[in-house]
Amino acid sequence: MSALPTPKSRILGTGHYVPEKVLANVDLEKIVDTSDAWIAERTGIRRRHIAAENENTSDMAAAAARRALESAGLNAADIDMIIVGTISGDSPMPACAVHVQQKLGADNIPAFDVSAACAGFIYGLTIADQFIATGAARCVLVVGVELLSRLLDWQDRTTCVLFGDGAGAVVLGPSEGDGRGLLSTRIFTDGSLAHALTIPGGGTAEPLTEEGLAKKRNKVHMMGQEIFRTAIKNLTSASTAVLKASGLTSAELDWVVAHQANLRIITQVADRLNFPMEKFVINIQEYGNTSSASIPIALDEAVRDGRIKSGQNVLMCALGAGISWGAALVRM
């Protein structure tokens, strides 16, 4: 086996936040033509968390960020950069990261958003790693956050049962030369599949009109079967790519933290990677699909409850709108 790559950056701390309000499958039975059994069987989801009326995307992001900073033993003054993966920011302009910066009190540092939907956290992690590897930054806050409950058509049972609100964050800093850190990341996009997952109205191509609002063109539209097939294939290939780049095999993995979109997708990826399901971090039953927040939420939970330990190899992979996808392999 070839020598393992030398990490340039490592995860210093993790954190997450989810809203207090819980919307269970049985609650959805009162809203749309569905059932707890139908949702659970096809997705693995039992509940999801929904933001309060006075809660914004940046509020959740800042809460997760504070917990990640506390975990790292750092404060806002230590951050050189803020990267927020989201497609549901407080407003179209400015970036959600700007509001997070303000709420943390981190002055005069670059703060920007990455729009890769469910792959946003992997994209953000990859970007942060480059800044640290070149020495342009020493401490980067990466947040994945979504408030999708306000972007859903709650009469569309194919989408409203899937998504939840939440935020997860990590603080990335320089590697200490002990082998721990980001071993490899890979990110991809196939624009030919842009139509498969989209919010069609509200941009310059389709400014919102009364007719567009009536047709709910400002809500999430998804071609579920196309996304399902593509996710299995692309998550497997991206995961294989980072394993190869890192000089590791699936047998040397300790954990996989996959995007929590659908339990059936995860089980099929596990089969293709020849990796046991008991080594996958799964929390989809509690949170549903929180898009860019799902990996950092699951990662933080597994770190805090002791499942993921220092020195272990953790594979992360996600696919979202674009279609954009990617994977990262980290030694914790």
Q: Catalogue the active-site residues.
A: 118, 259, 289
> Do 205 and 242 meet the contact criterion of CB atoms below 8 Å apart?
no
Tokens of 60: 């959740």
> Do 36 and 24 meet the contact criterion of CB atoms below 8 Å apart?
yes
> Which whole-number Å values give the CA distances from 16 to 5, 174, 193, 292, in the listed order?
29, 22, 31, 12
How many whole angstroms separate alpha carbon 258 and alpha carbon 162?
A: 16
Instruction: Say which residues have a Cβ less than 8 Å from residue 33's Cβ, sequence separation at least 6.
Output: 157
| Strand bridging mode 140-146 / 166-174 | antiparallel
Q: Specify the DSSP element, H or E, that contains 181.
A: strand 181-189
How many whole angstroms separate alpha carbon 284 and alpha carbon 45?
A: 6
Residue 158 has a CB neighbour count (10 Å cut-off) of: 14
DSSP conformational letter for 91: S
> Do 154 and 185 meet the contact criterion of CB atoms below 8 Å apart?
no
Look at residue 87 and give its three-state secondary structure.
coil
Torsion of CA 111, 128, 199, 266, to 10 degrees: -150
> Do 83 and 142 meet the contact criterion of CB atoms below 8 Å apart?
yes
* Whether residue 127 has a cis bond before it, omega within 30° of 0: no
Task: Name which of 264, 183, 275 is nearest 225 in CA terms.
Answer: 264
DSSP conformational letter for 23: E
Residue type at position 156: D
